[in-house]
Structure 1
């Protein structure tokens, strides 16, 4: 079996997409607690402590959201690796009208706000399609979110096989970041993009592809084998 593993050389880091959000959250944390100390703590110390604990918890959540943990990455020439963390919510054959204009096997991963939100290339290949679509902000598990929500689709070509990866915004996710452009050559598990605050990623595979995950299974981006080509 052509399957290898590699450990990321760095410890857990903060993703670059989080720098601005973390800076704002830190500023708000400091400002609220300074005001609380001067105007509330003497009369209502319990309220001042409550504000401190609540704002510190929110700051920790923001830091956690943009984390990139150290992981044992999985690589394989004939393997499609999960592009995102989360739970598998769809495995079904669909008719794609965006790129293939034909039947494809769709596997969808729902990403909660608690998941790692960096998205990764499921295969090594050439970027042959990259397009952003404006849209709605239906909840990410809604059946129509794949075609009606704000989204960004890319197609990676490996040999004669083309795989579409679709980043989909949800009710909370209002910003999709995608780093790929047509003509680029990308490596398996390198960063594809990032979605802020909960979302969904669809992978469209050739019909008949052997899927290695099950419905409701929790998966890890860059680690879990999604399918075998």
Structure 2
């Protein structure tokens, strides 16, 4: 199963690879060279398909747990001053996604979207300390009965050139429901209340909509 954001790119990539393969087959005489080039095309197609995959998962909503919004590796757990929305200290948990991770962004909690904003910006590498404030990004805040306002921020990386954000202010959303998509490498930051219990550790691999990153 592939995410809707990839349908057009997958189709275009498929047709380009088919055309190029036919041209290579017609014009290249050397059998080994021809086979090598076609294998490269196939690998490229497989990588694109893998990037846009959207595997089916059994999500179990929990009012006492806040789940990871994305697949990837936990690269930051620290107390910071969040100045875009809260203007106060929060616990930041950041998950880095490599190009081979599933890139669907999911709501870490259910509730009402009270803030959704897109910020144009730079394309620093996703693990750069300033990427959270200077890179292209979207900020979404969901008000939840248990955790209060929870902010998650999609951050473009050096390869990511487009962030898709589905969150609209005023709408009710469910935990683990699609919140957006980031194309080609990135990270997501989540800002939590200071009284949360953090359920993950640095360098831990997490799954979007499945792994609990905090609880109350």
TM-score with structure 1 setting the length: 0.92
Secondary structure, aligned partner of 1:38: helix
Give distance in 2, aligned partners of 1:123 and 1:71. Answer: 16
Name the residue aligned to 2:36.
Answer: 50
DSSP-derived class of the 2:121 partner: coil
Deviations 1:165-211 (A, max 9, x none): 00000000111000011100000111000001110000001112111
Question: SS of the residue aligned with 1:27?
Answer: helix
- State the partner residue of 2:105: 119
* Residue of 161, 164, 167 corresponding to 1:174: 161
Normalising by structure 2, we get a TM-score of 0.97
2:138 is matched with which residue? 152
Q: Helix, strand or coil for the counterpart of 1:72?
A: coil
Q: Does 1:23 align with 2:20?
A: no
Q: Is the 8 A contact 1:105 1:205 kept in 2?
A: yes
- Structure 1 residue 199 corresponds to structure 2 residue 186: yes
Distance 1:177 1:133 in 2: 12
Number of residue pairs matched? 215
1:86 aligns with one of 72, 92, 103: 72
Alignment partner of 1:214 is 2:201:
yes
Return the alpha-carbon distance in structure 2 between the equivalents of residues 213 and 195 of structure 1.
23
Structure 1 residues without counterparts, runs of 5 or longer: 1-12
- Structure 1 window deviating more from structure 2 (173-182 vs 74-83): it is 74-83
Aligned partner of 1:71 in structure 2 is: 57
Find the residue that maps to 1:74 and give its secondary structure.
coil
- For 1:7, the equivalent position in structure 2 comes to none
Deviation sequence 1:100-158 (CA, Å, 0-9, x none): 01111100000000000101111110000000001110000111110110000000001
What displacement does 1:95 show? Answer: 0.5
Q: Secondary structure at the match of 2:70?
A: coil
Cα deviation for residue 24 of structure 1 reads 1.4
Runs of 4+ in 1 over 6 A off after TM superposition: none
Unpaired segments of 5 or more residues in structure 2?
A: none
Contact map agreement 1:74 1:81 (CA 8 A) in 2? no
In structure 1, the partner of 2:48 is 62
